[in-house]
Amino acid sequence: MGTWLEWTHVLVRGVFFGAFMFIVPRWLSSRTSWYKPWKNLRLAIAFAIFSGIFFGLFATFELRLFKWPLSLLSVVLVFSLISVRLSWRSSH
């Protein structure tokens, strides 16, 4: 399932990548109309959190992410991301 050091790597990498994915597209959305979904703050925060978690997990565990205990975490994350996207879509 991973050591304490690996989970701290997941956290650090996830925080930095999530912050990057929150700041850069919001900055670009103020300059062009390509990033319209980023104007919704709730969706932008949710996407930044999930992208940070995914990046941290994949960068740390690589292919071990598809073995038993971590694969369950991956499936839960994918379904929760889909549900966030569908809930945002139904409200607009």
pLDDT in tens, 22-69: 888 777 766 666 666 566 777 778 888 888 888 898 888 888 877 887
Whole-angstrom distance, CA of residue 90 vs CA of residue 71: 29
Whole-angstrom distance, CA of residue 68 vs CA of residue 24: 35
CA proximity to 73, closest of 85, 61, 88, 87 = 61
Which has the higher per-residue pLDDT, 91 or 62? 62
**The predicted structure's pLDDT at residue 89:** 66
How would residue 15 be classed by pLDDT, with cut points 50, 70 and 90?
A: very high
Prediction pTM value:
0.72
Averaged pLDDT for residues 16-27: 84
Local structure of 66: helix, strand or coil:
helix
Ordered by start, the domain boundaries in the chain are 4-91
pLDDT over 90 at 5, yes or no: yes
Among 9-13, 32-36, 64-68, 83-87, name the most confident range.
9-13
